[in-house]
A and B are shown apart, each in its own frame.
Chain A
Amino acid sequence: MAMEHKAFLYRDIDDFLSVTVPYLKDGLANDQSVIAVVPEPRLTALRDVFAGPGQPIAFVDSAEFYRHPVRTLRDYQHVVKQSAPRRVCALAEPVWQGWDERQTLEWIRYESLINVVFASSGARALCPYDTGTLPPRVVAEAKRTHPLLLSSEHEGLNHEYVDPVTVGTACDRGPRTGRPRDAEYLPVAGADLHVLRAFVGERAARHGLPKRPAQNLVTAANEVAANALQHGTPPAGLWIWRDGDDVVCEIGDNGFWRPPPNPLTGFIPPETALQRGFGLWTVRLLVDLVEIQAGWDGTFVRLSVSRSASEPAGA
């Protein structure tokens, strides 16, 4: 069953409630699995409307749920699977404050990926966008990432919708910064990556990454390096440096990534570890940002981890 993914452009809390409350009630009336992921203070406003013993709506604070787009996609997929065979009716308002330019792009890509990951799930998602406070650019992108649109001027099919590959391509188009001169280098050669792990772990700690994110970076770098050794063309190497609050690790080799990666590569959660793409998807889960550059001069995979983000592990 096709999914229903609708952006809802609202002006104020009354406007917000006038649409979301009937939406959630409709989900309940149709015996759907209803989840409302909304930031405060709207979360409390909705809770108040539905307060009562045994009310079946799962209320979640967006500030908890929207921290890392790849993990959020995984978590929504979990909700859909847990709810089956019932359809999911989700009210899903992402967080748009506090991200830098690159993170904002990743959340735009995320909204677009919803259309791919849940294409045949039968889920319904209504995504509220606050036109009063959000930057016009975020609202404009919402129109490119939602096939359905509800606003004061429009209801129904959204003619500005763009397919996810096109959206993703635009997200990847940004200028790629070079490596700083003080990046530390380690050649990647031979089959044994023990030295590489020790190198990355030690540098990550020295650059101030807490233990868990440092270990996640080690696992991710190990995976990318193992791929470079298995599928790439020597010489392969690893650079690591600090960029502001991020620790960045880049693994490169001289080969061409075949088939060439597209903007969806590694974003779609695999069913199991036995499927193709499990490795890269997990790498995307483990670190904050993965950027792939597959070009004429080789394949470069850049992994970034913030020193300050504290991310609870697991689903």
Chain B
Amino acid sequence: METPWFAERPVGEVRPGDHGWLAYSGSEERDQVIGTFVREGLRTTEKVVYVTDAPAHRLPGVGPRHGIDVDAYSRAGQLRVISRRDACLDRRGGFEPAMMLDTLGREVDKAFDEGFRAVRLTTDYSWLLKPPGPPDLARMLGCEHRVGDAVSPSTMAMAICQIDRHALRPDELAALRDTHEVLVEVNPEYDDGILKIVRTFEPDGLRLEGELDAARHSVFAEQLAQVSTDRRRVHLDLSRLGFIDLGGLHLMARHATGLPAGEPLVLDHLAPDVENVIEMVGWHRLPGLVRGGRRTSPDPEGIT
């Protein structure tokens, strides 16, 4: 497999020039990523431009719960919500890529004139791909290439294109993804340079990266407990875990035995060094842990 040419980036590290892609599995994932994108922009006095038909106070990441006063930011011109009709629909209500590009260009220029140092643009394209009409993928691809061309050289614009991953076939999704340079995901729950813990949504669970050892057992246990609420089956993506200590295996097994009867903790995509230790002791000595998916090469966002 070719090395992916795009960058993977937590939403907190998206920066000007990034034409980002978020294929979300559900509203929980979308709200976490886009909510962070919106909120961090507003808090750092960057401009946020959201193309949507939803009212401002229904946007992800805003509202009193997050300490964001939508009306104040709207009045100050820092938050701008543009309806689809105004942003990118022609007179017959059809999607018009050229109009979308004009809108983006105009908003970036305006933000510059207003003195903002950066502008964050985002919209959810899923509605374009859902019935009644057939998904006009070619039109979207063309649009996205041009958006990329517009954003990438910019020193102040950054964009995240949202797509409901279930709105397209996997090959279509991959084609659309490939028009973006940056794959955006949630901010890690924990990252100390040795161990990184990232929430995953489809399947629900955590991705562990780096090394899990005694100094990091408690933070891992805490994250594991948090994600294990709501009676959902939890998967751990271990494709990037290079080391696990024996206490870490003990911890996972202990957690799994506390799950509702018969509900396992699924270990996906075991990296070779971790798999070796598990096979050395034998899966049957790790009650409640089961082997899940196997993947040998990295597959960003698990599209294929």
Contact = CB atoms under 8 A, between A and B. Distances in A.
Contact of B213 (A74, A226, A270, A282): A226
A305 to B, nearest CB: 14
Given A193-B214, A274-B287, A314-B276, A219 B253 contact: no
A194 B250 contact: no
A72 B66 CA distance: 58
Contact of A219 (B215, B277, B284): B277
A279 interface: yes
Contacts of A218: 243
Contacts of B284: 81, 272
Nearest to A193: B213
Nearest to B273: A215
Interface in B124-166: none
B194 interface: yes
Q: Which of B253, B277, B282 gathers most chain A CB within 10 Å?
A: B282
Contact of B214 (A216, A226, A273, A274): A226
Contact of B279 (A194, A229, A315): A315
Nearest to B249: A273
B298 interface: no
A212 B276 CA distance: 9
A74 to B, nearest CB: 7
Nearest to A215: B273
Interface string A102-144: 0000000000000000000000000000000000000000000
A78 B253 CA distance: 20
A315 to B, nearest CB: 5
Q: Summarize B's interface: helix, strand, loop or mixed.
A: helix
Contacts, number: 87
Contact of B282 (A78, A192, A193, A222): A78
Nearest to A194: B194
Contact of A279 (B213, B247, B254): B247
Nearest to B244: A219
Contacts of B249: 273
Contacts of A194: 194, 211, 213, 215
A278 B245 contact: no
Nearest to A270: B285
B257 interface: yes
Interface string B240-256: 00010111011001100
A241 B257 CA distance: 41
Given A74-B282, A222-B245, A282-B280, A191 B214 contact: yes
Q: Which of A216, A285, A314 gathers most chain B CB within 10 Å?
A: A314
B282 A219 contact: no
A222 B277 CA distance: 13
Contact of B281 (A197, A229, A273): A273
B286 interface: yes
8 contacts: A194-B211, A223-B246, A226-B247, A230-B214, A274-B250, A278-B246, A286-B277, A314-B279
Query: Nearest 5 pairs between A and B by C-beta?
Result: A314-B279, A192-B215, A191-B215, A273-B253, A226-B214
